[in-house]
């Protein structure tokens, strides 16, 4: 017993010392610095495409569209034309916009479509079959974005991706390993030999060519939105659906529309954050997190101090409880945005936190209404020479979606239907639970954790940030922003810093391996927290505007992410 007490006292003293040192922390190192523009994405080839668009006079929005199509070629695990996502845009004049090109449920979808006659979930039906696919939104989103913001010819934005698909590009070592591990599922789920399969194992620097995808991209180049949602590509999608008993029809494709929405805007300690509204949970969750921790001296606690980790985990626990109960597609469910972001409600939430012990998640309830009152996603951040900025997060949901490639069209389908609450209380692939707000309904968009975010300071652009990572997206973005604004890190340093995550259920703090020292873990466990080591959390790609106006990139070293500037 005395040994335990001594250990706790020593670790407490060390944590206090660590906290004090971090409260005066200065950036230790910087990422790539650029004078005029910056692109940070999940793959160096895609970042290079975006950089060339900026150098040729394109805006951040032009570059974002080109990067999106390039990622569909060079980053098939999550880059896509068969999925969907979100853009947050800030113009050089300070105007804000949120573009929703999230997938939708087909017209034939219904609430209990993944349950058997005993109302039990049919395992794998919402993740590994053709029924897992929602109506893709990416191409419609890019067309919608360029209608409003495009300055370069549409063909100029598609041609780099077409060239990459036709001529091929060198695989990274991690991509080669990934495709080799995927071989069995690609063979069993497809009735044709996809471009990702070959007799021998893939090796780093092998060239991957995708001729069918190149032809699909050419149809989009030549016919715009209709090159995907009508004509030959639409026919190929529907043929694939009919062959495997899927639900998406010609009518579903023709009717799909991307939507402009009002972003979630809030403040934290003098910084304005702009993020995505429903059907993303990201913006509201981020707003709740910032408001809760603002009630405490987080900066004084210090980076990864016991107090900071405890406070942030307790805030995350409560926010994810609200997410499960109240967030869904605002077009189909009346999301109580005002109430969830109410200062009084969040002050009360903060007051529930006991700084000396962990809360049992079973005791954390979601907000009670008062009358009248999917780890494989990808993010890219872009800033141009004029100060326009785009934060974009897109996904197929699981790695390579449902791993079914549209025969003759060369792109993978998403498994986003798993992001619906397929049965109240039943966790999705990321362990997230949900209820009626996110139940399956024809035409509805499934709830997302994607959190593309722009941060302003003194009415000027300050940061562009986002991450993949399924349920960990929100907490990755939250912690990265705090690393800069509260813990005085540079952008690359903030991105590289180890992360942790709490989502209420399971009742544990997930921590990157070697992310916390053993004494900190001992203290947190003594407070009642369960600590669960795990692999990498998120892959943040971000840009910070420095005091001299230059741009610093943060390209996450957890992946092949790369920054390109000019």
CA gap 346, 348 in Å, rounded:
5
Q: Which residue has the tokens 């139940």?
A: 439
- Residues 339, 471, single domain; the answer is yes
Q: Domain limits at 133?
A: 43-85+108-257+398-438
- Per-residue confidence (pLDDT) for residue 425, from 0 to 100: 61
- Residues 299, 409, single domain; the answer is no
- In a domain? residue 238: yes
Q: Measured in whole angstroms, how far is the alpha carbon of residue 413 from the centre of its chain?
A: 18
- Per-residue confidence (pLDDT) for residue 27, from 0 to 100: 84
- DSSP 8-class letter at 556: -
CA gap 246, 249 in Å, rounded:
9
Tens of each residue's pLDDT in the chain, 566 residues: 343 334 444 344 444 433 343 444 678 899 999 999 999 999 999 999 999 999 999 999 999 999 999 999 999 999 999 999 999 999 999 999 999 999 999 999 999 999 999 989 999 999 999 999 999 999 999 999 999 999 999 999 999 999 999 999 999 999 999 999 999 999 999 989 899 999 999 999 999 999 999 999 999 999 999 999 999 999 999 999 999 999 999 999 999 999 999 999 999 999 999 999 999 999 999 999 999 999 999 999 999 999 999 999 999 999 999 998 899 999 999 999 999 999 999 999 999 999 999 999 988 866 554 333 246 799 999 999 999 999 999 999 999 999 999 999 999 999 999 999 887 666 655 555 556 788 999 999 999 999 999 999 999 999 999 999 989 999 999 999 999 999 999 999 999 999 999 999 899 999 999 999 999 999 999 999 999 999 999 999 999 999 999 999 999 999 999 999 99
- In a domain? residue 392: no
- Residues 490, 428, single domain; the answer is no
User: 226: which residues sit within 8 A by CB, 6+ positions away?
Assistant: none
- Residues 345, 434, single domain; the answer is no
- Per-residue confidence (pLDDT) for residue 436, from 0 to 100: 78
| Cβ–Cβ < 8 Å for 83, 137 | yes
The 3-class SS string of 217-279 reads HHHHHHHCCHHHHCHHHHHHHHHHHHHCCCCCCHHHHHHCCCEEECCEEEEECCEEEEECCCC
- Edge-to-edge strands of the sheet including 460-465? 33-34, 551-555, 541-545, 460-465, 453-457, 271-275, 264-268
- Per-residue confidence (pLDDT) for residue 10, from 0 to 100: 39
Q: Measured in whole angstroms, how far is the alpha carbon of residue 342 from the centre of its chain?
A: 25
Residues pairing with 536 in the sheet: none
End-to-end Cα spacing for the chain? 60
- Residues 421, 460, single domain; the answer is no
> What distances in angstroms separate CA 482 from CA 271, 299, 372, one per listed residue?
11, 9, 34
- In a domain? residue 372: no
Reference 280, options 100, 477, 449; nearest CA is 449
- Residues 510, 460, single domain; the answer is yes
| Cβ–Cβ < 8 Å for 476, 140 | no
- In a domain? residue 355: yes
- In a domain? residue 161: yes
Q: What is the CATH number of the domain that holds 327?
A: 3.60.20.40
Residues pairing with 397 in the sheet: 376
H or E element in which residue 143 lies: helix 138-149
The 3-class SS string of 402-458 reads CCCECCCCCCECCCHHHHCECCCCCCCCCCCCCCHHHECCCCCECCECCCCEEEEEC
Reference 63, options 161, 136, 129, 133; nearest CA is 161
DSSP, residue by residue, 271-313:
EEEEE--TTBSHHHHHHHHHHHHTTS-HHHH-TT-HHHHHHHH
Using DSSP, state whether 533 is helix, strand or coil.
Answer: strand
| Cβ–Cβ < 8 Å for 543, 463 | yes
- Residues 236, 200, single domain; the answer is yes
CA gap 377, 380 in Å, rounded:
11
How many residues does the structure list for the chain?
Answer: 566
- In a domain? residue 94: no
Question: Strands 460-465, 541-545: parallel, antiparallel or unpaired by DSSP?
Answer: antiparallel
- Residues 509, 536, single domain; the answer is yes
Reference 509, options 498, 525, 523, 495; nearest CA is 525
φ/ψ of residue 466, rounded to 5: 180, 175
- Residues 243, 164, single domain; the answer is yes
CA gap 190, 405 in Å, rounded:
7
Last residue of a domain, one of 438, 469, 488: 438
- Residues 406, 466, single domain; the answer is no
- In a domain? residue 384: no
- In a domain? residue 17: yes
> What distances in angstroms separate CA 267 from CA 270, 287, 341, 540, one per listed residue?
6, 8, 11, 21
Last residue of a domain, one of 386, 410, 438: 438
Sign of the Cα torsion 491, 495, 498, 501 reads positive
- Residues 426, 503, single domain; the answer is no
Sign of the Cα torsion 331, 336, 342, 345 reads negative
Number of compact structural domains in the chain: 2
Catalytic residues: 377
- Residues 62, 12, single domain; the answer is no
Q: What angle do CA 49, 50, 52 make, to 5 degrees?
A: 65
- DSSP 8-class letter at 555: E
The 3-class SS string of 145-179 reads HHHHHCCCCHHHHHHHHHHHHHHCEECCHHHHHHH
Q: Which residue has the tokens 């390109």?
A: 564
Residue 512: asked if its preceding bond is cis (omega within 30°), the reply is no
State the alpha helices, DSSP H only, in 508-553. Answer: 518-526
């Amino acid at each position: 017993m005395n040994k335990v007490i001594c250990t706790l006292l020593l670790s407490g003293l060390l944590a206090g010392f660590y906290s004090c040192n971090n409260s005066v922390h200065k950036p230790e190192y910087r990422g790539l610095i650029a004078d005029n523009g910056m692109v940070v994405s999940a793959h160096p080839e895609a970042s290079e495409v975006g950089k060339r668009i900026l150098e040729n006079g394109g805006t951040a929005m032009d570059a974002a569209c080109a990067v999106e199509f390039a990622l569909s070629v060079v980053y098939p695990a999550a880059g896509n034309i068969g999925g969907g996502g979100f853009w947050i845009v800030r113009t050089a004049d300070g105007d804000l916009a949120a573009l929703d090109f999230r997938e939708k449920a087909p017209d034939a979808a219904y609430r209990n479509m993944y349950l058997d006659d005993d109302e039990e979930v049919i395992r794998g039906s919402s993740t590994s079959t053709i029924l897992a696919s929602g109506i893709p939104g990416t191409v419609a989103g890019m067309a919608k974005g360029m209608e409003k913001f495009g300055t370069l010819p549409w063909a100029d934005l598609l041609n780099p991706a077409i060239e990459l698909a036709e001529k091929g590009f060198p695989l990274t070592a991690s991509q080669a390993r990934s495709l080799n591990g995927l071989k069995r599922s690609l063979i069993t789920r497809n009735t044709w030999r996809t471009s990702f399969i070959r007799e021998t194992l893939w090796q780093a620097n092998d060239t991957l060519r995708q001729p069918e995808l190149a032809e699909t991209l050419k149809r989009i180049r030549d016919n715009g939105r209709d090159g995907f949602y009508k004509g030959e590509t639409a026919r190929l999608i529907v043929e694939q659906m009919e062959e495997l008993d899927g639900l998406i029809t010609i009518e579903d494709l023709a009717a799909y529309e991307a939507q402009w929405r009002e972003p979630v805007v809030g403040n934290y300690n003098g910084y304005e954050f702009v993020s995505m509204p429903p059907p993303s949970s990201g913006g509201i969750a981020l707003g709740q997190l910032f408001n809760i921790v603002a009630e405490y001296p987080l900066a004084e606690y210090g980076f990864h101090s016991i107090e900071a980790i405890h406070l942030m985990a307790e805030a995350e626990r409560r926010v994810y409880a609200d997410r499960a109960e109240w967030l869904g597609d605002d077009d189909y469910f009346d999301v109580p945005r005002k109430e969830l972001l109410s200062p009084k409600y969040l002050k009360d939430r903060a007051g529930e936190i006991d700084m000396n012990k962990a809360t049992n998640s079973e005791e954390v309830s979601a907000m009670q209404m008062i009358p009248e009152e999917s780890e494989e996603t990808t993010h890219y951040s872009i800033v141009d020479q004029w100060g326009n900025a785009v934060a974009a997060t897109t996904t197929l949901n699981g790695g390579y979606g449902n791993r079914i490639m549209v025969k003759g069209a060369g792109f993978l389908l998403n498994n986003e239907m798993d992001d619906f609450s397929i049965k109240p209380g039943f966790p999705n692939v990321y362990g997230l639970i949900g209820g009626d707000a996110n139940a399956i309904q024809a035409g509805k968009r499934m709830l997302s954790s994607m959190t593309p975010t722009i941060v302003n300071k003194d009415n000027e652009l300050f940061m562009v940030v986002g991450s993949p990572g399924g349920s960990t997206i929100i907490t990755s973005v939250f912690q990265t922003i705090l690393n800069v604004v509260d813990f005085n890190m540079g952008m690359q340093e903030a991105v590289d810093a180890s992360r942790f995550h709490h989502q209420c259920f399971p009742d544990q703090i997930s921590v990157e391996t070697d992310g916390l020292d053993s004494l900190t873990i001992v203290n947190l466990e003594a407070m009642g927290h369960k600590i669960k080591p795990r692999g990498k959390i998120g892959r943040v790609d971000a840009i910070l505007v420095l005091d001299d106006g230059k741009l610093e990139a943060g390209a996450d070293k957890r992946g092949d992410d790369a920054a390109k500037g000019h």
